[in-house]
A = this chain, B = another copy of it.
Amino acid sequence: MDNFTFYSPTFFAFGKDQEKEAGNLVKRFGGTKVLVHYGGGSVVRSGLLDRVKASLEAADVPYLVLGGVQPNPRSGLVYQGIELCRKEGVDFVLAVGGGRTIDSSKAIAAGTVYDGDFWDFYSGKLIEEALPVGTILTIAAAGSEGSPDSVITNEDGMFKRGATGDAIRPKFSILNPALTQTLPPYQTACGITDIIAHLYERYLTNTKDVEVTDRLIEALMMTMIHEGPRVIADPDCYEARANIMWAGMMAHNNSCGVGRTQDWTSHDIEHELSALYDCAHGAGLAVTLPAAYTYVMEHDVMRFAQVASRVWGCKMDFYHPEVTARAGIEALRNFLISIGMPKNFEELGAKKEDIPVLVKSLCYGNGREGSLSGFLTLSEEDCTKIYELMV
């Protein structure tokens, strides 16, 4: 196991009606003037925004609101939020929504107290200071409610980049599974796919002998495989929503990923898709994962055989472990299709002729110099072949 540090000081309030605690929690964590940041109409239509406002009012905490976060959150709104926070003396950012809203809130929180352009953080600079952030989560997916990460799309060229830093870990996150019961099946499935991707990206390690984190990741994968189809079949199932919501947080606060190298190439490969086509991140991942894993499988056949056997229930072929490994990737593909995810470029709305554009942005964007590091170092040619496997 590699040396590591782990720090997850987020306070989680989990369960029914917990959004009523928003005002008290903002106060507990030092907020005296709040920016309530949210996305589209569902937060408004469902009455959630009103309940959050009422909770802030009951706690005597003044607030401003800023809506309009788009599915792949844009830099433009972040600049707007930063300006607003500075002008109004906001000292706490409260995200009401999913990963996009939380990520946009984190960017605003970091940018408000930074002299330069907030995009510096999305170009490699560590976030060391930020306004405190709280979240009220409305979809189990990105894991941003317990992570120190944020992903934003730069409108000047439409490319997605990530930033990180313990300063943007939420001070508190309110996780009420009932808030996710109204999600359309497609969005629910996108969230499930994102969570599974976070688990695979941690599972694909080059560190040997990390049984405890292998087992924890497998536990969360099995939870998703059990609860995913259940919630697609019965969107109102509170118990399945609750299991998925805690699994989604645990999948990405890194308690199951410590002490081992990880592989974030699938996320990078996908980010080019959702940036160019504005498709849902989860949908892009559903097309990416089976292709990428088919391509990299030979780098460590036993790793893929282990997940196939332990998680997907494939019989181990001891003479031909690659058969088991491949069966596990097929099981993943079929699972994603079964919950309604796209399986190829066509269903995603992507185009084969764009592959050179995708590969160029992927391999040369974000300060990269022609390749992608992870489980396996991927050259331009490798990335091209992976995208071709998605066609």
Query: Which residues of A pack against B, CB within 8 Å?
Result: 1-16, 18, 177, 208-213, 215-216, 218-220, 222-223, 226-227, 239, 242-244, 246-247, 250, 255, 258-259
Q: 10 other contacts beyond A208-B239, A211-B243, A212-B247, with CB at 8 A cut-off?
A: A1-B177, A1-B242, A4-B15, A6-B11, A15-B259, A212-B220, A212-B244, A216-B216, A242-B259, A246-B258
* Chain B residues within an 8 Å CB radius of A239: 1, 208-210
* Chain B residues within an 8 Å CB radius of A10: 7
Q: A210–B250 Cα gap in the complex (Å)?
A: 14
* Chain B residues within an 8 Å CB radius of A210: 239, 243
* Contact between A227 and B211, CB atoms less than 8 A apart: yes
Q: A2–B8 Cα gap in the complex (Å)?
A: 22
Q: A215–B247 Cα gap in the complex (Å)?
A: 10
Query: Out of B3, B208, B246, which one reaches A16, CB within 8 Å?
Result: B3
* Chain B residues within an 8 Å CB radius of A15: 1-4, 259
Most chain B CB inside 10 Å of its own CB: which residue of A15, A16, A218: A15
Query: Out of B13, B215, B259, which one reaches A222, CB within 8 Å?
Result: B215
* Nearest chain B residue, comparing its CB with the CB of A4: B14
Q: A221–B247 Cα gap in the complex (Å)?
A: 18
Q: A16–B3 Cα gap in the complex (Å)?
A: 7
* Nearest chain B residue, comparing its CB with the CB of A241: B1
Q: A5–B21 Cα gap in the complex (Å)?
A: 11
Query: Out of B4, B222, B246, which one reaches A213, CB within 8 Å?
Result: B246
* Chain B residues within an 8 Å CB radius of A215: 219-220, 222-223
Q: A1–B5 Cα gap in the complex (Å)?
A: 30
Query: Out of B6, B219, B243, B244, which one reaches A14, CB within 8 Å?
Result: B6
Can you list 27 A-B contacts with CB-CB less than 8 angstroms, sorted by A residue number?
Answer: A1-B15, A1-B239, A3-B18, A5-B11, A5-B13, A6-B11, A6-B12, A7-B10, A7-B11, A8-B8, A9-B9, A9-B11, A14-B259, A210-B239, A211-B223, A211-B227, A212-B223, A212-B244, A212-B246, A212-B247, A215-B220, A215-B223, A216-B219, A216-B220, A216-B250, A219-B219, A242-B259
* Chain B residues within an 8 Å CB radius of A227: 211-212
* Chain B residues within an 8 Å CB radius of A216: 216, 219-220, 250
* Contact between A12 and B5, CB atoms less than 8 A apart: yes
CB of A82, distance to nearest CB on chain B (Å): 28
